[in-house]
Amino acid sequence: MSAGGGTRAILAALAANAGIAVAKFVGFAITGASSMLAEAVHSVADTSNQALLLLGQRTSRRKATAEHPFGYGRDRYFYSFIVALMLFTLGSAFAIYEGIHKLQHPEPLTSPIVAVVILVVAIGLEGYSFLTAMVESRKIKGDVTWWGFIRQSRTPELPVVLLEDTGALLGLVFALFGVGLSVITDDPMWDAVGTLMIGALLGVIAVILIIEMKSLLIGEGATPTELDRIKEALVDGRVQRLIHIRTQYIGPEELLVAAKIALEPGLQLTDVAAEIDAAEVRVRETVPAARLIYLEPDLDRTPAKT
């Protein structure tokens, strides 16, 4: 993923959520709808989340040091993990608490049409943010499904924004559902139900993000497609066989490749060095993210077939 594409999606989401948060708080102050308050807090959490994603992009560009010789690329994973935790605590937990509170102490809505107008406008703004994230994601998604993209992507920002925007759009629909039924039935209980639906939705999305970001923080290897390309690129020239290989993303755009390769017997030291250099060039041309490559030469000791 180009950093520019991710940044555009984050900035679009940041602008949309900041404006929506203000409008929702105004709507809650006027109507008293708990679903509006839950959505307002949700938008505040999303706005903070986008700021954290931008911070992660910035800090990840720091130069490598003696203490961190592989650089700070995983900062983007760390801040994305914090985003998932915030979505769970500020978004899901608060909405569920507010929904339960409103069920226990229901209050009639005032000027519900204000809430409806704000929610409709918010859907339009969130839709713009969502489409921006989809356009940027399609550039790198390839042929995998959207769910596959979220699960397999080694870059955290676009999957995070996509899931956040999906949750935001569905949350707005749930809020409309709650406010609308409260007006139609004259029963504020439905507003509380809509709020609980928002909390449950955000909880599911947060758990998915927490699982995915934790996996990236621990360290994920090359995708199956990338691994096949690397293996094919290594076995060429005087490289007879790939003995074993290990890969790990140490940042969204930086893949570490360590492999033991079997070379033709009898090669001079200069020829061995030349073969290793050539293999590194082939791998980088095939998988540009493979920036750190360590190859250990060996002889092919595969038992002869009888």
What are the residue ranges spanned by the domains of the chain?
A: 3-218, 224-299
- List the end-to-end C-alpha distance of the chain, in Å, as a whole number: 49
283 to each of 6, 88, 228, 235, 294, how far by Cα in Å?
Answer: 25, 40, 11, 10, 11
Banded model confidence at residue 302, pLDDT cuts 50, 70, 90: low
pLDDT (mean) for 1-23: 75
Each residue's pLDDT tens digit, 148-207: 888 888 888 888 888 888 888 898 899 889 888 988 888 888 988 988 998 899 899 989
Q: Cα(179)–Cα(192) distance, rounded to whole angstroms?
A: 9
For residue 89, give the 3-state DSSP assignment. helix
Instruction: Go through the chain and tell me how many residues it has.
Output: 306
What number of CA atoms fall less than 13 Å from residue 55's CA on the CB side? 12
Q: Convert the pLDDT of each residue in 88-122 to its tens digit.
A: 887 888 889 888 988 888 877 777 788 888 888 88
- For the stretch 208-230, pLDDT in tens is 999 999 999 998 999 888 999 99
Q: What is the pLDDT of residue 2?
A: 46
- Please state the rounded mean pLDDT for residues 290-301: 88
Query: Model-level pTM?
Result: 0.79
Determine the average pLDDT of the residues in 74-85. 90
273 pLDDT exceeds 90? yes
Residue % of the chain over a pLDDT of 90? 28
The CATH number that domain 224-299 falls under is: 3.30.70.1350
Report the topology of domain 3-218: Alpha-lytic protease prodomain-like (1.20.1510)
- What is the mean predicted confidence (pLDDT) over 228-233? 95
Residue 12: band (very low, low, confident or very high) from pLDDT cuts 50, 70, 90: confident
The tokens of 60 are what?
């990840």
CA distances to 55, 99, 292 from 36, rounded to whole Å, are 29, 11, 49
SS3 296: strand
- Do the two domains 3-218 and 224-299 of this chain adopt the same fold? no
Q: Per-residue confidence at 254, pLDDT binned at 50, 70, 90?
A: very high
Q: What is the pLDDT of residues 20-62, one digit of tens each?
A: 888 888 888 888 877 778 888 878 888 888 888 889 889 988 9
- For the CA atoms of 231, 245, 57, 169, the dihedral, rounded to the nearest 10 degrees, stands at 70
